[in-house]
Amino acid sequence: MSGTLKAAGVFLAGCAVFAQGCVSYPEKVRPVKTQLALGVDDSLPLRYDAEDEDGRNRLLALSEKGRLEKLQVRYRESDGYYREAIEFSDALEDKALVSAGDVLQKSLASTYGNDLSLDYPVVGFERMMLHQLDAFDRIAIGDFDGFGVDVRHMEKCRNDTFRLLRRDREAIDAKLGKTKLDELTGSLAYKALMGDAVAMASGAKHSTDNAYAMYLVGLYHEMRGERSSAKKAYSDVERMQPGLAAVKEGLARVGGRKLAPGEGEVVVFFEEGFIPRKSNRRFEYGGLFTTVVWDMPYYSAADCMPYEDGGPLLVAEGRKALAKTVPMCDLATLAAKAHEERMHGIIARQISRTTVKAVTRAIFSGMALAGAYCAANNIGDNKGYTQMALLAVGIAGSIGMSIMAAATEQADLRSWLLLPRQVQIARFPLKAGKHQLMLATVDKCEKLSVEVKPGAKTIIHCTSVPGVMRCFAKCMDKMK
């Protein structure tokens, strides 16, 4: 009887997980994007469940809210959410990129359900973007010391991500065997199933090859007169994105080239679009009693084609064109690479779940066979109650586990969905003084007052998403 209760408990736990994961995370964010596209400018709350506020999706909730506040020109509120998210991610650092080393010790819901019951992990690419976007909030509110703190954390985060990836990959290899996983991910079957995801991720060597972040690092060191650090950062960007005029200009400045007397320099960062959501690919095999289901998350190559919706940002003063931005960083490629770097852990957990579910199903099947054998050979009580109970529980459990395996297997599609899709850049000298600039895309236009001081940098930051474009300018003459 106790065995029957345990089996029922397992089944109910799986059903609970399925009920929790019915609404995918991208669907929770979709209404916000719709509101933005319609031009709704006030009160744009993300509708999170309590578990998202305080539980497994807390990091995502804080990150998305920070981004949303920024899109409403509430930079201090945005900074507050980002700081809270950074503190929370620091606390979760040891759990980043959950490895197979502890996969078998995870909760019952995770083992019999899916990855949605786990805390959203600290992804190195997204953690760098937390510091990156918070750095611009600090610039907007004039907190230059805080800006420097975020820049230094970006550099540290890049190194930490390499360390965590190596640590977790070693744990996975030790638990499941390096050869086994390499054979699986290198097989023709895997490439056929996930081929476009593999191709998408091949556009970047590492998920931390973030030219957007590293250019800001270089600019920070250049403004502080730290030439060697600035040169190293700009050289990294040149390796990631060869031929950018803004990088060549930065290298020339740290190499000693001076601005003309009475000139300052303007650096324009232009974020556009939304990063694509993950897709899922579901495949299953077997029969009623032996169903095996995998539902794998991935970034579709079709959703990550080169971004052409917004085009460049044109910067003009009166009738005079001053500059036009050019692409610097495709964040969709970095997101796909970050996902690929975590794929071994995802597969390891999937293997663990498949194994546990198969063993449980085999136990129920064994009970059914035992009941049938006992009934056929008159083994047990004379009335056959025991034999029939074994047979009934075994058949019901086998069918139930097969149904649960299919019903609860759901790809984890969570990611930071309000991140920009692409970042462009422009850099040009401008006569010192106050200027009224026009910033325009193919479908949006903003006027911006800009102050330029001799020998100083002025940063212009623009964010454009469907329905909204927000810009600010800040003269960095007080940078030390």
Top-ranked range on mean pLDDT: pick from 116-125, 284-293, 316-325, 395-404: 316-325
Place of tokens 């586990």: 401
Q: What is the dihedral of CA 203, 172, 276, 156, to 10 degrees?
A: -70
> Could you give the residue ranges of the DSSP H alpha helices within 72-143?
75-91, 108-112, 124-140
Output 480 or 31, whichever has higher pLDDT. 31
pLDDT at position 114, please?
A: 76
The dihedral sign for the CA sequence 382, 385, 391, 394: negative
Q: Is 243 left (phi over 0), alpha (psi -120 to 50) or beta?
A: left
Is the model more confident about 104 or about 434?
Answer: 434
Taking 60 as the threshold, does the pLDDT of residue 13 lie above it? no
Q: Where residue 102 falls among pLDDT bands split at 50, 70, 90?
A: very low
- The bridge status of strand 457-465 relative to strand 468-475 is antiparallel
- Cα 307 to Cα 323: distance, rounded to the nearest angstrom: 20
* Domain ranges, ordered by start, for the chain: 2-357+401-475
Residue among 78, 393, 30, 454 at smallest CA distance from 258: 454
Q: Give the orientation angle of helix 245-254 with respect to helix 211-223, to 10 degrees.
A: 30
pLDDT score recorded for residue 397: 63
pLDDT of residue 15: 47
- Rounded CA separation 456/259 (Å): 10
Q: Which amino acid is at 315?
A: V
Task: Give CA 34 to chain center in angstroms.
Answer: 21
CA 466, CA 404: separation in Å to the nearest integer?
A: 40
Q: Which residues pair with 321 in a beta bridge?
A: 316
Average pLDDT for residues 461-476, to the nearest whole number? 93
Read off the pLDDT of residues 198-231 as tens digits, 9 standing for 90 and up: 455 555 678 888 999 999 999 999 999 999 999 9
| Range 99-115 burial, b when 16+ CB lie within 10 A, else e | bbbebeebeebbbbbbb
* Residues 25-65 pLDDT 10s: 888 888 888 888 877 655 555 554 545 555 788 888 899 98
| Pairwise CA distance, residues 237 & 233, whole Å | 6
Predicted pLDDT at 100? 39
Q: CA triplet 387, 391, 392: central angle to 5 degrees?
A: 115
Mean pLDDT of 332-341: 87
Average pLDDT, the chain: 79
CB 81 within 8 A of CB 69: yes
Farthest CA pair distance, the chain: 106
Q: Please state which of the ranges 27-36, 255-264, 440-449 shows the lowest mean pLDDT.
A: 27-36
